[in-house]
Chain A
Amino acid sequence: MPAPEPRPALEALRAQVSRLEGQGRRRRGVLPFGMPEIDGRLPDGGLALGALHEVAGGGHDALNAAASGLFSAGIAARTRGKVLWIATRQDLYAPALQQVGLSARRTIYVAASSDVDVLACFEEALRHQGLGAVVAEVARLSMTASRRLQLAAETSGALGIAIRRWRRQTDAADFGQPTASVTRWRVSVLPSVPLPVPGVGRSRWLLELIRARAGECADFEVEACDAKGRLAPCRLALPAALADRPAQEAAGHRRARA
């Protein structure tokens, strides 16, 4: 993007808006993805630290939260300090998180009994100064709850990730409701990178940046997290086999989009 020419009046307005939004208190820095096409779309060039981010899975992943979980683990792996992972349904498999760089030594799990408990623990953890990232799996996230979480994250500078994971596919429409999170992502799976030999290649995801405060929405096709939690741009064009997939099959696997 070409650097915009300085306009004092606009700058003053921006400063006023950010003061109104309560952002000007402290600059927390960002966690870049290391991919210019994503970082360029995000304000300040990365995921804001000291802020709440929302991640949901597309299609069946809204229920399973496997791809969205791995995406969040990749982000958490690139922070410094301990990571707290709060969930009601504990089915994460720790060796998989190790494979995206999130060591089991850094990760503390909290098994909460209800969504209310998850949110309370989430807020408590976000207020703590010593954590790198806090990840929580919640189904419902109201405007009030997310506002509290966002304010808590601002006080400490920890990265808060709310994985939205619903029990029923119909509940996933909830993702359309507004919340106070700074960014919202939807992770949907794409067919993996084709290999010249039989086998499964590196996974690919369609990352949809549905909302970004002071930024614009965007879609990215990326290759899934590597051993250090980094994403990579898709190197190859989509294979021909996918492009002319039978229409009937595509209908059967259409992703639920809220």
Chain B
Amino acid sequence: MLSVDLAARRLGLRPGTPVAKAQALHPDLLIMDADPDGDRAGLERLSLWFQHRIAPIVAPDPPDGIVLDTTGANHLHGGEAAMLENMVTRLKESGITARAAIADTWGTAHALARYGRERITLVPPGETAAAIVDLPIEALRMPADIIEALHGLGVSRIGPLAGLPRAPLALRFGPDVARRLDQAFGRQAEAIVPVRLQAPVQVSRNFAEPISAAETIARYITKLVPPLCAGLEEREQGVRRLDLLLHRVDSRTEAVRVATAMPVRDVRRLTRLLCDRIETIDPGFGIERMVLTASLAEPILRRQGVSALIEEEEADVSDLIDTLANRVGMQALYRFAPVESDVPERAVCRVPALAPEEAKEWPDHWPRPTRLLPRPEPIQTMAVLPDHPPVFFVWRGIRRRIRCADGPERVFGEWWKGDAELTTVRDYFRVEDTSGETFWVYRTGDGEHGETGSQGWFLHGLFE
């Protein structure tokens, strides 16, 4: 076992116990597989959060810690004690049990956070040595084989280890022991390599004279886009979101943001997308600086073109989709995809316009109406029960006599969706009135049993 929670610890289980043994002791033990990659990714994410909230220099300290250089950031959080308290509480709120320590060196803080007595430990400057002499040597970030060998020598605490002569130690265990000791006592510096988001590709241009005409802005957009695309090409990326910031002389900033459905690195297309939005810019007294940032970039996947003679290449419409999406919004462009459901309004779902094509199709055994009303509308009818189509019906104030009809097509409620649909039934009829207009009407209920529905009639769609 790699790690145990508090309840397991109370039962007497410790990290390192074989799983089989623990299960033999406590058969109802809950065991989860270790996920080192997931843990590392989680630490990275948490580090970014700390970097955002606490201090700029933050690094994950695998497998289970995060190290921060809080120098210069303490006062922002009400002092060291309040800051640690705050951090531990915030983590606890999100379900993470944490221990924290602050000390002069990374090594000491690391040791105290894991092996200290208190949940939160503060080591005043200069008292590092006193704080860790009593801790076990496992706290020193040394490889497991060295620790085991040291235990074999009868050394189990940091204090006695620090008192041993250096030369024999280095001869026997290599430089690690002395290095870790020096790092913990602060005799050797240790740098924290902070996590860093990859800086986005950004190009900018300053103007000696403020610009404001739409044509001028357009001209400089066409000058900014090519270097941006060159920068993206070096990273083999394309933009998904592009921000154009225009700093005005009255120190206000106008922003234009365009988004694309797929990563794009095409100069013409990006220029076009930005120039379409020029009319939304208010230049005020003039613009003195333009900054173009690829705030969201993704790798461009290269696809093999069609090489067979008989196949025709499918024209690419993603540029049109982007242009339209920046006008009406990305969510206003969609396709319909089949869903396996017999209830007509549930048989379709909206998917993004450029989503991968699904192989499914709707079953073709019953005709479906061209227009489906957003909500079925109640109609007045006269019909012979249980399974005859109506003789006439009144919809939106017009009485229509029915000339011929098809049906019923019985649709059962989806009982797995909820108890309310356990017994419900709809009987659909396709009816044609004397003028030739064809409608899709249904009755809730099977015409015989009250529990299947109210037996009311509704109009759900129009064929033609």
Determine if chain A interacts with chain B: yes
In the bound complex, do residue A203 and residue B368 qualify as a contact, i.e. CB atoms below 8 Å apart?
A: no
Set of chain B residues within 8 Å of A121, measured between Cβ atoms: 324, 327-328
In the bound complex, do residue A108 and residue B333 qualify as a contact, i.e. CB atoms below 8 Å apart?
A: yes
Set of chain B residues within 8 Å of A191, measured between Cβ atoms: 403, 432, 434-436
CA distance A65 to B436 in the complex (A): 15
Least Cβ–Cβ distance between A239 and chain B, in angstroms: 10
Stretch at the interface among B56-64, B241-249, B312-320, B415-423: B312-320
Contact for B372 among A80, A93, A227, A249, CB less than 8 A: A93
- Judged by a CB distance under 8 angstroms, whether A107 is at the interface is yes
Least Cβ–Cβ distance between A79 and chain B, in angstroms: 12
In the bound complex, do residue A81 and residue B336 qualify as a contact, i.e. CB atoms below 8 Å apart?
A: no
Question: Total contacts A to B, CB within 8 angstroms?
Answer: 163
29 contacts between A and B (CB under 8 A): A65-B371, A66-B369, A66-B370, A69-B371, A82-B315, A92-B371, A93-B369, A93-B461, A94-B362, A95-B348, A95-B368, A103-B361, A104-B337, A104-B361, A108-B353, A109-B333, A110-B324, A117-B327, A117-B328, A120-B327, A121-B328, A124-B327, A125-B324, A130-B316, A131-B317, A199-B405, A199-B406, A200-B438, A205-B464
Q: Beyond A109-B333, A124-B324, A189-B437, is A96–B317 a contact (Cβ under 8 Å)?
A: no
- Judged by a CB distance under 8 angstroms, whether B338 is at the interface is yes
- Judged by a CB distance under 8 angstroms, whether B373 is at the interface is yes
- Judged by a CB distance under 8 angstroms, whether B404 is at the interface is yes
Least Cβ–Cβ distance between A70 and chain B, in angstroms: 5
In the bound complex, do residue B371 and residue A64 qualify as a contact, i.e. CB atoms below 8 Å apart?
A: yes
Where the two chains meet, the residues of A that have a C-beta atom closer than 8 Å to any C-beta of B are 59-61, 64-67, 69-70, 73, 80-82, 84, 91-99, 103-105, 107-113, 117, 120-121, 124-125, 128-131, 189-192, 195, 198-201, 203-205, 224, 227, 245, 249, 253
- Judged by a CB distance under 8 angstroms, whether B145 is at the interface is no
Set of chain A residues within 8 Å of B435, measured between Cβ atoms: 59, 189, 191, 253
Set of chain B residues within 8 Å of A97, measured between Cβ atoms: 370
In the bound complex, do residue B338 and residue A93 qualify as a contact, i.e. CB atoms below 8 Å apart?
A: no
Instruction: Tell me the chain B residues, 335-350 only, with Cβ under 8 Å from chain A.
Output: 335-338, 344, 347-348
In the bound complex, do residue A128 and residue B317 qualify as a contact, i.e. CB atoms below 8 Å apart?
A: yes
Set of chain A residues within 8 Å of B372, measured between Cβ atoms: 91-93
Contact for B463 among A112, A203, A245, A253, CB less than 8 A: A203
Set of chain B residues within 8 Å of A253, measured between Cβ atoms: 433-435
Set of chain A residues within 8 Å of B437, measured between Cβ atoms: 59-61, 189
In the bound complex, do residue A204 and residue B436 qualify as a contact, i.e. CB atoms below 8 Å apart?
A: yes
- Judged by a CB distance under 8 angstroms, whether B430 is at the interface is yes
- Judged by a CB distance under 8 angstroms, whether B358 is at the interface is yes
CA distance A59 to B438 in the complex (A): 13
Contact for B430 among A80, A92, A200, CB less than 8 A: A200
